[in-house]
């Protein structure tokens, strides 16, 4: 599915300094009963965001109007658990384009890259700086620069580099996905399949 | 020149590389692709909108499991959204010529149970499914892992996925497991030792006497839980136990094809001197029956222990305290004697015949505790039939338990099998996340022995007290 190209993103950020945010929290299983990819943002963090009578929980960060932006900053081991891509869809549909953490679960990271969300892994020290900067001023802007592979706290100029392989970087900056690539190598795949013992 | 020593993982991975992209992922050929109703509909919409056919429909197998009801399966599914997803799966399977075991089929069941029991899963394969517990199939020496829906679309379109090669870890456990200790306890013990994220970025091989002496059902339980320590997958070298399990199954090779395959499968083991990025060693003697008390699978301990203090756990203090608040537990509280409301036996982790045998062994001659609601859900119709054939159903009924029909059920509570808010459930499934078994539900993960001991006493009980001598 096509997604917006990602180059440089300058935005305020939403802080969520909780470890082990699993995909059941990002989107509970009972909201996976769709046959189309739409509307998942409404149920992002459903049980942390709403009471059982569907009234918003006042102390949850997404319900606090002082925080907003296209960047979500999470604690260590973000996106653990289920492989549901719906978690990444919900984050994208809500309006985030980038998630920052000191550590991502593998499947969540792959799913994000595949749908045009940039997962940025920073050191624990830098993550702490981001949380502190947002705590001091919720209007703190971050700049995520994919071509330069850097993330900067604009107010202080503090910056850190992040890793991403060239293939995925190229895809994200151009809005390509893996199927475009795989379609172009079908002959190789057919040849390979002929040698399969299974 | 002598060959560079390779790990089991290297051998299987390298045998499936169609292309390596410099400073990018490998393009891996996928031998088997399993699909279910929840993570596949959007993938089919994707190939449809691109106008791409399914490249090798005979390599994909569909089963309905995630939101199927576990009672009255002969009647129409009441929930319209679930019914629509199930219809989409059947419709897509029919349209693209993919074989399907839909709800009502005698071979229907949980994807990670029906794959192995029908010989679709074979040693040395690459296997993917839009479900993180695909790691289960690693029990057969497969590279098997969960994928997202974009990747499901990729596999339908090209029979390949693109993955950077993960790092390699080996966990070795030698010695003999003690009385009352099951493969689930081994899995929960490992996760508690290395945390829920300790193996992220790695593919894990399990080695040593404990795994060599384990049945295929037990190996599947262990490999299933690999994802709960963050590993993309786990695998165990195929051996005689594997080969005798596979031989004769419906879709396993026969005759000459079997001999040829077997000769290859026997080469699938880690060479002496092969190097891992990380090696961990545990002692079987240190593993007692386990139970979790927190909201990630790493927060578990021996059943006779107390809940650790925040200062003694590897998770951050704030996250740990949030976890205990959700569970309404306190630091230092004992687990034994804690009153429980629900028991769930089932799931792709512990929904196989051995799990029901273990449960029956404990409840035989005893009665279900009055305060317990028990949901016993076989992993497939084949397991269900075996339960009846072996007389296990009679033992269960005699003790006041009923058997439900196969499916994922209360493991993720997509159907009506939801634990009510605030209630405690001892579950043989794989995740104790907040709300996993229903909004507000509190889950303690454990083995079938522990689940059975709880089911007949109504409280957290050490199963060793109920198991006979020997």
Residue B160 DSSP SS3: strand
Query: Phi/psi at B306 (nearest 5 deg)?
Result: -100, 165
A177 touches chain B (CB under 8 A): yes
The superfamily in CATH containing domain B167-239+269-286 is Aconitase, Domain 2 (3.40.1060.10)
Chain A, chain B: beta-carbon pairs less than 8 Å apart: 203
> How many whole angstroms separate alpha carbon B187 and alpha carbon B398?
31
Fold entry, domain B8-165: Aconitase; domain 3 (3.30.499)
Cβ atoms of residues B369 and B456 within 8 Å: yes
* Per-residue 3-state assignment (H helix, E strand, C coil) for A61-95: HHHCCCCCCCEEEECCCECECCCCCHHHHHHHHHC
| Model pLDDT for residues A105-121, shown as the tens digit of each residue | 999 999 999 999 999 99
| CATH number of the domain enclosing A157 | 3.20.19.10
Give the start-to-end residue ranges of the domains of chain B: 8-165, 167-239+269-286, 293-462
Q: Is A52 within a domain?
A: yes
Give yes or no for residue A2 having a pLDDT over 70. no
Q: Which residues of chain A lie closer than 8 angstroms to B318, CB-CB? A: 17-19
B6 touches chain A (CB under 8 A): no
Q: Is A2 within a domain?
A: no
Interface test with A, best of B32, B158, B318 (most A CBs within 10 A): B158
Q: Is A1 within a domain?
A: no
B160 touches chain A (CB under 8 A): yes
B413 touches chain A (CB under 8 A): yes
Q: Which residues of chain B lie closer than 8 angstroms to A196, CB-CB? A: 29, 31
b (16+ CB within 10 A) / e for A142-171: bbbbbeeeebbbeeeeeebebebeebbbeb
B146 touches chain A (CB under 8 A): yes
- Residue B207: the pLDDT is 98
Host domain of residue A107: 8-194
The nearest alpha carbon in chain A to B198 belongs to A77
- Residue A4: the pLDDT is 84
b (16+ CB within 10 A) / e for B341-364: bbbbbbbbbbbbbbbbbbbbbbbb
CB contact under 8 A, B150 and A178: yes
ipTM value for the complex:
0.96
| Model pLDDT for residues B229-240, shown as the tens digit of each residue | 999 999 999 999
Q: Is A131 within a domain?
A: yes
pLDDT band at B314 (very low <50, low <70, confident <90, very high): confident
| C-alpha distance from A185 to closest chain B C-alpha (Å) | 9
Q: Is A91 within a domain?
A: yes
What is the arrangement of strands in the sheet containing B17-20, beginning at the earlier edge strand?
A: B17-20, B26-29, B160-163
Q: In total, how many domains does chain A have?
A: 1
| Model pLDDT for residues B42-92, shown as the tens digit of each residue | 999 999 999 999 999 999 999 999 999 999 999 999 999 999 999 999 999
B30 touches chain A (CB under 8 A): no
Q: Is A3 within a domain?
A: no
Q: How many CB atoms lie within 10 A of CB A4?
A: 10
Which residue of A37, A177, A193 is in closest CB contact with B56? A193
| Model pLDDT for residues B158-215, shown as the tens digit of each residue | 999 999 999 999 999 999 999 999 999 999 999 999 999 999 999 999 999 999 999 9
Give the global pTM. Answer: 0.97
Residue B58 DSSP SS3: helix
CB contact under 8 A, B146 and A83: yes
Are both B8-165 and B293-462 of the same fold? yes
CB contact under 8 A, B157 and A85: no
Q: Which residues of chain A lie closer than 8 angstroms to B439, CB-CB? A: 28, 30, 47, 52
Interface test with B, best of A60, A178, A184, A194 (most B CBs within 10 A): A178
Fold entry, domain B293-462: Aconitase; domain 3 (3.30.499)
Q: Is A43 within a domain?
A: yes
List % helix, strand, coil for chain A (3-state, nearest 5).
Answer: 35, 20, 40
A2 touches chain B (CB under 8 A): no
> Within 13 A of B459's CA, how many CA atoms are on the CB side?
7
């Amino acid at each position: 599915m096509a997604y917006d190209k990602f180059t440089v993103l300058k935005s305020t950020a939403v802080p969520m300094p909780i470890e082990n945010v699993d995909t059941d929290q990002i989107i509970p299983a009972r909201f996976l009963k769709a046959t189309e990819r739409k509307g998942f943002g409404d149920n992002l963090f459903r049980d942390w965001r709403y009471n059982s009578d569907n009234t918003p929980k006042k102390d949850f960060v997404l319900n606090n109007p002082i925080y907003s932006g296209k960047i979500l900053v999470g604690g260590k081991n973000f996106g653990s658990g289920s492989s549901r891509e719906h978690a990444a869809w919900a984050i994208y549909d809500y309006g985030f384009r980038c998630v920052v953490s000191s550590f991502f679960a593998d499947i969540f990271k792959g799913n994000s890259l595949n749908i045009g969300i940039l997962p940025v892994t920073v050191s624990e020290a830098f993550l702490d700086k981001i949380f502190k900067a947002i705590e001091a001023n919720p209007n703190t802007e971050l700049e995520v620069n994919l071509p330069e592979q850097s993330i900067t706290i604009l107010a202080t100029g503090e910056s850190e580099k992040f890793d991403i392989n060239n293939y995925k970087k190229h895809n994200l900056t151009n809005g390509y996905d893996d199927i475009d690539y795989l379609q172009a190598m079908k002959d190789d795949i057919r040849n390979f399949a002929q040698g399969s013992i299974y | 020149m002598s060959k560079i020593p390779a790990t089991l993982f290297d051998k299987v991975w390298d045998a499936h590389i169609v292309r390596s992209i410099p400073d990018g992922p490998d393009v891996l050929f996928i031998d088997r692709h399993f699909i279910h109703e929840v993570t596949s509909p959007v993938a089919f919409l994707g190939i449809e909108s691109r106008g791409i056919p399914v490249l090798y429909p005979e390599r994909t197998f569909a089963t309905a499991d995630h939101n199927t009801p576990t009672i009255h399966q002969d009647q129409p599914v009441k929930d319209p959204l679930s019914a629509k997803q199930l219809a989409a799966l059947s419709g897509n399977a029919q349209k693209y010529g993919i074989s399907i075991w839909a709800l009502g089929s005698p071979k229907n069941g949980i994807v990670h149970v029906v794959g192995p029991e029908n010989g679709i899963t074979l040693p040395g394969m690459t296997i993917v499914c839009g479900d993180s517990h695909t790691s289960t199939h690693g029990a057969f020496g497969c590279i098997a892992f969960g994928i997202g829906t974009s990747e499901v679309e990729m596999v339908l379109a090209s029979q390949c996925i693109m993955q950077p090669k993960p790092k390699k870890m080996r966990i070795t456990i030698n010695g003999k497991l003690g009385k009352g200790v099951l493969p689930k306890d081994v899995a929960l013990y490992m996760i508690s030792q290395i945390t829920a994220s300790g193996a992220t970025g790695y593919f894990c091989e399990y080695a040593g006497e404990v795994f060599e002496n384990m049945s295929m059902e037990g190996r599947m339980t262990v490999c299933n839980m690999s994802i709960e320590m963050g590993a993309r997958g786990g695998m165990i070298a195929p051996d005689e136990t594997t080969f005798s399990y596979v031989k004769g199954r419906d879709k396993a090779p026969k005759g000459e094809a079997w001999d040829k395959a077997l000769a290859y499968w026997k080469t699938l083991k880690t060479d002496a001197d092969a190097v891992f990025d990380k090696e961990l060693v545990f002692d079987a003697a240190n593993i007692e029956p386990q139970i979790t008390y927190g909201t990630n699978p790493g927060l578990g301990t021996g059943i006779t222990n107390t809940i650790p203090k925040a200062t003694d756990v590897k998770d951050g203090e704030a996250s740990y305290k949030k976890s205990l608040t959700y569970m309404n537990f306190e630091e230092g509280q004992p687990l034994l004697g804690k009153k429980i409301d629900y028991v769930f036996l089932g799931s792709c982790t512990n929904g196989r015949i051995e799990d029901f045998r273990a449960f029956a062994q404990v409840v035989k001659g005893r009665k279900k505790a009055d305060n317990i609601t028990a949901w016993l859900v076989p992993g497939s119709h084949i397991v269900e039939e075996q339960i009846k054939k072996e007389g296990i159903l009679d033992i269960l009924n005699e003790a006041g338990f009923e058997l439900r029909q196969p499916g994922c059920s209360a493991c993720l509570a997509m159907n009506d099998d939801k634990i009510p808010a605030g209630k405690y459930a001892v579950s043989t499934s794989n995740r104790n996340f907040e709300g996993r078994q229903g909004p507000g539900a509190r889950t303690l993960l454990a083995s079938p022995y522990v689940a059975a001991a709880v089911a007949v006493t109504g409280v957290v009980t050490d199963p060793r007290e109920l198991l006979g001598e020997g």
